[in-house]
């Protein structure tokens, strides 16, 4: 067990920082890498695991603090796991609306039964930039892709992701409810156990 009071999050995404801080609780203060650098590392890995470790090492190197990185995305069964690690830049970096439009276009005329998907989250925690033993925690959240966007909450692909256990889209969940059942919540639960956080 490591004694952590603060961690730097390898992300400039304010939504992600807020979401992960809420899940971590008060025991650990999460700081944004934006406090230390505006430069994003190049995500050259071919998997969520590789990219999470790469981002965590970069953040630890820039900040001198233990670092937490989240690499997450949407893997659609019909598309062979795409957009996968390219989820955030699926539509060439044109933003959430363009990503969602491209996904709907790719699944045009695909029946509901073949629209299975999962949100994937891999959390990587390194004590320092050269940590030989990163802590890795994975969370999967299974659902399917809707035919059209629905809901106002969340970000990214949330309006297109149907959550069977709640009978709503991810974007129709309250932030508190989403933080209980999402891919990120599942990965964070494992991380809290690993760090012995209550």
The residues annotated with a catalytic role in the active site are: 71
Looking at the chain, how many residues does it have? 198
How many angstroms separate the first and last alpha carbons of the chain?
13
What contacts 62, CB < 8 A, 6 or more positions away? 8, 33, 36, 37
Q: Which residues pair with 71 in a beta bridge?
A: 122
Q: What span, in angstroms and rounded, lies between the C-alpha atoms of 198 and 98?
A: 39
Q: Is residue 70 classed as helix, strand or coil in its secondary structure? A: strand
Q: Are 106 and 151 in contact (CB under 8 A)?
A: no
Q: Are strands 29-32 and 161-163 parallel, antiparallel or unpaired?
A: unpaired
In eight-state DSSP terms, residue 160 is G
C-alpha Rg value of the chain to the nearest Å: 17
What contacts 111, CB < 8 A, 6 or more positions away? none
Q: What span, in angstroms and rounded, lies between the C-alpha atoms of 44 and 37?
A: 19
């Amino acid at each position: 067990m490591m004694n952590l009071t603060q961690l730097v999050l390898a992300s400039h995404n304010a939504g992600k920082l807020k979401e992960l801080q809420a899940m971590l609780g008060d025991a650990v203060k999460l700081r944004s890498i934006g406090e230390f650098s505006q430069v994003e590392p190049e995500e050259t890995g071919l998997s969520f695991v590789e990219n999470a470790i790469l981002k965590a090492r970069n953040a630890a190197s820039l900040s001198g603090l233990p670092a937490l990185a989240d690499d997450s995305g949407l893997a659609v069964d019909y598309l062979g796991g795409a957009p996968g690690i390219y989820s955030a830049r699926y539509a060439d970096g044109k933003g959430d609306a363009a990503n969602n439009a491209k996904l709907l276009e790719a699944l045009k005329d695909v029946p509901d039964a073949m629209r299975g998907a999962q949100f994937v989250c891999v959390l990587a925690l390194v004590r320092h930039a050269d940590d030989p033993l990163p802590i890795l925690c994975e969370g999967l959240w299974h659902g399917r892709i809707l035919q059209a966007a629905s809901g106002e909450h969340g970000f990214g692909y949330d309006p297109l992701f149907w959550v069977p256990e709640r009978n709503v889209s991810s974007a129709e969940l309250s932030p508190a409810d989403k933080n209980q059942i999402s891919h990120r919540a599942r990965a964070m639960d494992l991380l809290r156990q690993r760090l012995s956080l209550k």
